[in-house]
Amino acid sequence: MRAIVLLAVGILIGAAALGAVWANQESDGVEVRVAVERLDDGRVEIGLQQRSDDGTWGVIQQPDHRFLAPDADPGEIRFSSSVTFEQVSRAQEIAADYETELFETGQLTGDYFVEQFHAQDDPESLPPVLCLVDPAHSALRALCNGIGDTFPTGVDIIESDDYNAVADEVERRLLAGEISQIMGTSNQISETAVFARDHILFNNPHLPWTWIHYWFEMIDPLLPAEDDLFCVISHGGTDIFWGLATDTAITASAALGLNLRAEAFADVAEQAEAIRQCVADGAVSIATTLASPDGLAPAVAEATAADIPVMSFNSGAAAASDVGSSFHIGLNDRRAGELAGEQFNLEQIQGTILCVIHEADNVGLHERCEGLSNTYANGDVETWSYDGERPAAALVARTHAGDIGAVLALSDSVGLSILFEQWPNPQVPLATFGFNLGFATWVEEGKILFAIYDHPLVQTYLGVMGALLIERLRLDPVSLFNGMTLLIEPQIADADQMRKVTNALIPPEIHDRYLGANDTESADAVDDDSANEGDDGS
């Protein structure tokens, strides 16, 4: 068992230590097949079919020259005329579906304008609807086209980001009575129309009121361009947590269709330089951890100054908005430490607890130890930081002083190293952050008191999603989110919880084969003990 666990750990550390640059690209291959049919007159007719992205085969396309005569000479190759297939990418399909949805919505909107605002009018005498399209949201022109399809006198479309020119045209048309309704397709262009209308009505109170509507897509639903670079830059280097996190970032990029650069660094200066490199390479969005906010703040500032939105995840929740992050996603580190203290109290631990910080400058880890101090009631908390690769021996030596009641490791790797240093029978109770199958077994067996799930998969997947979200927003994310923080509520995994985990991984037939009899024997033993206790009057 130990060799298997160590092998898995080595693979994960390798993934995080090397870092990676990953690009999710659609295949350029086109899958086709030949359709062949023998006709009644003996000729053979051929055609081609192309498979679409959803796996279905399209219609058979037949070239002009597609027949093989029944008396064709054997051994002589014949060629048909060429067939041209139009290859439709996933992005094109999404754009087409979006355009259709907008057009149909526009049709309903055109009907609504007549019913709600012009029910008593002669429809054919109405001025057209004025539809203002912001070029940044040009796909919304399809909405205007839909309005024009059902509004009796159609729609006039102005597409411009010269807001002064738009305001001039709105004023002119209002004075001339050439507008029945106004539809804006962005917040900015709609506000422009509002100011222009109010100015005209203030100076010309006899004019009829004109309603202004807006259709504002907060998030661009189209796929980003294939060459748009998204960066996920984290600290952590060789820890198991960051091996899982890097792998999850790659998984997220594949699911979301992103060109992703995912890198992890043990040194804050290298992490800051990686952020600067993303800026230099024209990244459209950056997600980063803030384990050392002071060291990363200048690099984040350079990104935001270059109009590259930045969000943060994992460590640094308290400093995120000050640094310039749009919003932050991470574990509630302080609450995690508080939960650990409460669990140590339940376990009736006495004496000093060593809270082991494996990254001396990581603000999130210090918050965990502070939270532990807030709730642990049966002794002191000693924060124990280290630099280097093999802290376990020194830490175990520290526990021999006699005043240590338990150790709390703040990562998978540290927890494993301490456990293996004391293997197979730990002398000092150990609790740890993180999760792997070894932890599940050892918590169940009592070699580890409990574990706290730190959710690297959730944090990193949401980090990649956040990087996409802030790039796709049609409003400034810093203004919109205002430094919003999303914190994951930590979870204690004790022996009962870990037993559920391990049981869920065992196939039922294997459980029945190897454990069924033992379970029955255990149940019988319990029943016997209960009966004896009853006889004793307990």
Q: Chain-centre distance of CA 444, in angstroms?
A: 32
Q: Average model confidence (pLDDT) for the chain? A: 85
The 8-class DSSP code of residue 192 comes to H
The reported pLDDT for the residue numbered 390 is 65
Residue 39 lies in a domain: no
Q: Is the peptide bond before 426 cis (omega within 30 degrees of 0)?
A: no
Q: Is 195 helix (H, G, I), strand (E, B) or coil?
A: helix
- Across 260-276, average pLDDT: 93
Which residue, 468, 347, 336, is CA-closest to 409? 336
Residue 445 lies in a domain: yes
Residue 250 lies in a domain: yes
Range of the domain at 393: 333-456+493-498
Question: What are the tens digits of pLDDT across the range 382-414?
Answer: 998 866 556 677 787 787 777 889 999 998 888
Q: Give yes or no: residues 464 and 421 share one domain.
A: no
Q: Give yes or no: residues 383 and 482 share one domain.
A: no
- List the strands of the sheet with 451-453, edge to edge: 381-385, 352-357, 404-409, 430-433, 451-453, 491-493
Contact call for residues 166 and 193 (beta carbons, < 8 A): yes
Number of domains within the chain: 4
- Across 125-147, average pLDDT: 93
Q: Give yes or no: residues 108 and 199 share one domain.
A: yes
The reported pLDDT for the residue numbered 157 is 96
Residue 376 lies in a domain: yes
The reported pLDDT for the residue numbered 304 is 94
Q: Give yes or no: residues 286 and 186 share one domain.
A: no
Q: Give yes or no: residues 404 and 474 share one domain.
A: no
Band of pLDDT at residue 28, cut at 50, 70 and 90: low
Question: Any idea what the CATH number is for the domain that residue 444 is in?
Answer: 3.40.50.2300
Which is more confidently placed, 494 or 22? Answer: 494
Write down which residue in 163, 188, 214 finishes a domain: 214
Residue 46 lies in a domain: no
Residue 58 lies in a domain: no
* CA-only gyration radius of the chain, Å: 33
- 10 pLDDT more than 80: no
- As a whole-number percent, the residues of the chain with pLDDT over 70 amount to 88
Residues 6+ apart with CB under 8 A from 63: 46, 47, 48, 80, 81, 82, 83
pTM for this entry: 0.74
Q: Point out the least confidently predicted range of 28-32, 242-246, 251-255.
A: 28-32
Q: Give yes or no: residues 137 and 112 share one domain.
A: yes
Contact call for residues 376 and 323 (beta carbons, < 8 A): no
- 296 pLDDT more than 90: yes
- List the strands of the sheet with 259-265, edge to edge: 20-23, 259-265, 229-235, 285-289, 310-313, 327-331, 484-488
